[in-house]
Chains A and B, each alone.
Chain A
Amino acid sequence: MLELDQVAFRYPGSARDYRLTLSAAPGEITAISGPSGSGKSTLFDLIAGFLTPRSGTITLNGQTLVPLTPEARPISILLQAEPLFEHLSVAANLALALPRIARAEQQRRLAAALAEVGLAKYQSRSASTLSGGEKQRAALARTLLLDRPVLLLDEPFSALDDTTRHAMRQLVADLTRRKGWITILISHHADDVRAIARHHYRLENGQLVAATTPD
């Protein structure tokens, strides 16, 4: 379980106090929604470790994450903007998730991950030539290789067309279920939330409010 308990945060010079409590289970997608400026990205940065709470706890299976630097946290991230290094090939982007293993084994796992997201023939393509949906799928393949228990998604489907969006949502939902990931989906699109989230929280006035749970 990923749990945020009374996590307090305030930006210097800002009047808004965040006090966040959240619980997310393995194999399920928990969605966070809210209008622009409501603090969705702040929540993302607090969980990922790019912001430090003033008080409160963030734990994963009972182990505190707060003292850990972003790279030490068992969390994969997938961002809407710039999910890949565009000057590298798809294979080179994915290889970053497997830096210290033999080349042959790296190639095998890399090919398997790409096949899983439907990009089997894209290894040698430059990341800059991919469409928005293909970039997101390649980034998802990288999270597969990282295989960390928590996946943080920040508006991952926003720039995609309807067909690609639908396919990506199903892919994320399927992987979350099969891999047992704790997936936190940050999105201001009600469609995305309804389509794949098991739990839904809204950010209002710096607090997370449980919204209706989709069927």
Chain B
Amino acid sequence: MLRLPPFNNSTIPPHPRRQIAGAGLALIVTLGLVGALLAILAAGGVGTAPHGGAILALVGLTTLQAGLSTLVSIAVGMALAWALNRLRFFGRGVVIALLSAAIVTPGIVVAFGLISVWGRAGFIADALTALTGTRPDFSIFGLGGIIFAHTILDGAFAARVLLARLDALPPARLKLGQSLGLRAVERFLVLDWPALRGALPGLAAVIFLLAFTSFPIVLMLGGGPANQTIEVAIYAAVRLDFDLGRAVLLALVQIGFCALIVSVSALLRPASLPTAPSQPSRWRDSRPARLGAVLVLLGLGFALLSPLVAVLVEGIPALPVLLTRPTLAPALLASLAIASLSSLLAVALGLIAALARASATRPLVRLLLGAPLLGYLAVPAMVLALGAFLLVRNAGLDPERAAPFVLILANALLVLPFALATLGPPLDMLAQSRGRLLRSLRLSGTVQFFAVELPLIRADLALVLALGFCFSLGDLGIIALFGTDQFATLPLMMMRALGAYRSADAAALAALMLLISGTVFTVLPRLIAKVPDARA
């Protein structure tokens, strides 16, 4: 009887070097995470820890605003998705692209835009004053303002996700519904709702996490301690009260809650749907239903987009003055450099992890290669910044000198879960569906990557790169701890301008960030898509 040597005959191409690189990355990322957490734990006990009641109140408030933000965002997202699915009009593609771009709009810019429209001296108040002769007494600051701002970002995100599901409904199902003569309400309940329902739990968990860890919006629109969240309280403890013990305790509470939310959201993944959009349906709802869709689109479109338009209207005229400020060039260069390098780093690390996971067959190995990276979902930016700050300080380094490197690394790590979640599935699917063929062709890892995998994920790479750049450009959480008089980024410069009541400068900075984010998010994916495939 023949004795057989052990060898790999899996239907997934084995690439040991990829797995070694992935394992190395997972180890380094784990050590970084553990190091930051240990530094936070070791620093505990210094200063005045808040009593349990205060922490509970903070958790309660954070949960309340995140819960309400989630509910409103989902409702708005669902209404917008429904309206956009039903209506065909010139510029529909632009509206959908704007919804996609909303997620990358810096929170500080959204908050500023809301104040410009709905603030005491905003456009709405001015218009009402002109109409009635008296200045209205309403405030955008407080819980309502926070929820409004979160809805602009997360409602648009929800609309994009839900619209994709509605647009992917099988044509045969629509034809059947049309032949049965379903009315608008029945069509929604029978056809749309089952498609939307599958996405809601996972989507809600993601939005809740985003709102729970929101920093700049709560800082700007909170209106004081009454509407503080854990994230803002950590910042206040470190930068304003110099109370490290309090910051550490709050950071641990924050990590605990985020880990819980991430665990729940992992269980609530959206059910899969066809990925390709179906042909546009010619099935038109009744006239009243279409009128309703138009009203929903106009009303919500105005509510979501007017703050961003206000930022441009108010900020662009102030740009020439801003350009004369000597602090602009260093902050702009720092922001662009940090955003570029951190997004490139996130893409590189995400790619290493995704390729390693795609070549691993054992579930445990796949888990070990991916879990440490996804672990950063449970670590909010402020907590990561605090850990990095403590690590740098404990190592005897000058935080000011280390700041650019920490910012690049921390921003890259925060984008890493998204990078892995975006790049992983297509590579996994390729390995599983074409594994036999890939092995049979005897491709080296390099040839397989450049000839087969890169063309497949080029658009995803561009998306991760653009999103990573925009997230990093708008980050206020990490720079808030590391920024100094000599080292600032655009968001920090804007916060300082607001603090010094230089509102024209703040408006110009908001417009500048919005323009850069919008340009990068729109242009970068198109540029990368146009890079010719060398082998095609």
| A210 sits at the interface (CB 8 A) | no
| A85 sits at the interface (CB 8 A) | yes
Please determine whether B536 and A85 come into contact, CB atoms closer than 8 angstroms. Answer: no
Please determine whether A85 and B434 come into contact, CB atoms closer than 8 angstroms. Answer: yes
| B451 sits at the interface (CB 8 A) | yes
Please determine whether A92 and B455 come into contact, CB atoms closer than 8 angstroms. Answer: yes
Partner of A48, one of B440, B443, B455: B440
From 45 to 103 in chain A, residues with beta carbon under 8 angstroms from any chain B beta carbon are 45, 48-53, 55-57, 64, 66-67, 69-72, 75-77, 79, 82-83, 85, 87-89, 91-92, 95-97, 99
Known interface pairs A85-B452, A92-B535, A99-B447. Does A69 touch B4 (Cβ–Cβ under 8 Å)? Answer: no
Nearest chain A CB to B292 CB, angstrom units: 38
Known interface pairs A69-B9, A88-B452, A99-B451. Does A50 touch B2 (Cβ–Cβ under 8 Å)? Answer: no
Per-residue contact bits, chain B 1-19, to A (CB 8 Å; 1 contact, 0 not): 1101101111101000000
Chain B residues closer than 8 Å to A99, beta-carbon distance: 443-444, 447, 451
Query: How long is the Cα–Cα vector from A95 to B536 in the complex, in angstroms?
Result: 9
Query: How long is the Cα–Cα vector from A55 to B434 in the complex, in angstroms?
Result: 28
| A124 sits at the interface (CB 8 A) | yes
Nearest chain A CB to B161 CB, angstrom units: 23
Partner of B441, one of A50, A89, A96: A96
Please determine whether B9 and A83 come into contact, CB atoms closer than 8 angstroms. Answer: no
Nearest chain A CB to B435 CB, angstrom units: 9
Nearest chain B CB to A41 CB, angstrom units: 11
Partner of A82, one of B8, B434, B444: B434
User: Which residue in chain A gives the minimum CB-CB distance to B8?
Assistant: A69
| B439 sits at the interface (CB 8 A) | yes
Known interface pairs A50-B11, A69-B9. Does A87 touch B455 (Cβ–Cβ under 8 Å)? Answer: yes
Please determine whether A67 and B436 come into contact, CB atoms closer than 8 angstroms. Answer: no
Chain A residues closer than 8 Å to B484, beta-carbon distance: none
Known interface pairs A50-B9, A55-B2. Does A79 touch B437 (Cβ–Cβ under 8 Å)? Answer: yes
Please determine whether A67 and B4 come into contact, CB atoms closer than 8 angstroms. Answer: yes
Per-residue contact bits, chain B 117-151, to A (CB 8 Å; 1 contact, 0 not): 00000000000000000000000000000000000
Chain A residues closer than 8 Å to B2, beta-carbon distance: 55-57, 64, 66
Please determine whether B439 and A87 come into contact, CB atoms closer than 8 angstroms. Answer: no
Query: How long is the Cα–Cα vector from A83 to B430 in the complex, in angstroms?
Result: 12
Nearest chain A CB to B507 CB, angstrom units: 44
Please determine whether A67 and B536 come into contact, CB atoms closer than 8 angstroms. Answer: no
Query: How long is the Cα–Cα vector from A51 to B95 in the complex, in angstroms?
Result: 52
Chain A residues closer than 8 Å to B447, beta-carbon distance: 96, 99
Partner of A51, one of B8, B9, B441, B536: B9
Query: How long is the Cα–Cα vector from A49 to B435 in the complex, in angstroms?
Result: 12
| B456 sits at the interface (CB 8 A) | yes
Query: How long is the Cα–Cα vector from A88 to B536 in the complex, in angstroms?
Result: 7
User: Which of B1, B430, B440, B441 is packed against the most chain A CB atoms within 10 Å?
Assistant: B440
Chain B residues closer than 8 Å to A89, beta-carbon distance: 533, 536
Chain A residues closer than 8 Å to B430, beta-carbon distance: 85
Please determine whether A124 and B437 come into contact, CB atoms closer than 8 angstroms. Answer: no
Chain A residues closer than 8 Å to B9, beta-carbon distance: 49-52, 69-70
From 150 to 179 in chain A, residues with beta carbon under 8 angstroms from any chain B beta carbon are none
| B442 sits at the interface (CB 8 A) | yes
Query: How long is the Cα–Cα vector from A96 to B452 in the complex, in angstroms?
Result: 8
Please determine whether A92 and B440 come into contact, CB atoms closer than 8 angstroms. Answer: no
Query: How long is the Cα–Cα vector from A91 to B437 in the complex, in angstroms?
Result: 16
Please determine whether A70 and B536 come into contact, CB atoms closer than 8 angstroms. Answer: no
Chain B residues closer than 8 Å to A87, beta-carbon distance: 455-456
Chain A residues closer than 8 Å to B442, beta-carbon distance: 71-72
Nearest chain A CB to B5 CB, angstrom units: 6
Query: How long is the Cα–Cα vector from A178 to B455 in the complex, in angstroms?
Result: 35
| B433 sits at the interface (CB 8 A) | yes
The 7 closest A-B pairs by CB, nearest first: A71-B442, A70-B439, A92-B535, A89-B536, A99-B447, A77-B440, A71-B439
B residues sitting closer than 8 Å to A (CB atoms) are 1-2, 4-5, 7-11, 13, 430, 433-434, 436-437, 439-444, 447, 451-452, 455-456, 533, 535-536
* 29 CB < 8 A contacts A-B: A48-B440, A57-B2, A70-B9, A70-B436, A70-B439, A71-B440, A71-B441, A71-B442, A75-B440, A77-B436, A82-B433, A82-B434, A82-B437, A85-B452, A85-B456, A87-B456, A88-B452, A88-B455, A88-B533, A88-B535, A88-B536, A91-B535, A91-B536, A92-B455, A92-B535, A95-B535, A96-B443, A97-B441, A99-B443
A residues sitting closer than 8 Å to B (CB atoms) are 45, 48-53, 55-57, 64, 66-67, 69-72, 75-77, 79, 82-83, 85, 87-89, 91-92, 95-97, 99, 124, 146
10 more contacts with CB within 8 A, not counting A88-B535, A92-B536, A146-B441, are A49-B9, A52-B7, A55-B1, A64-B2, A77-B440, A85-B430, A87-B455, A89-B536, A92-B455, A96-B451
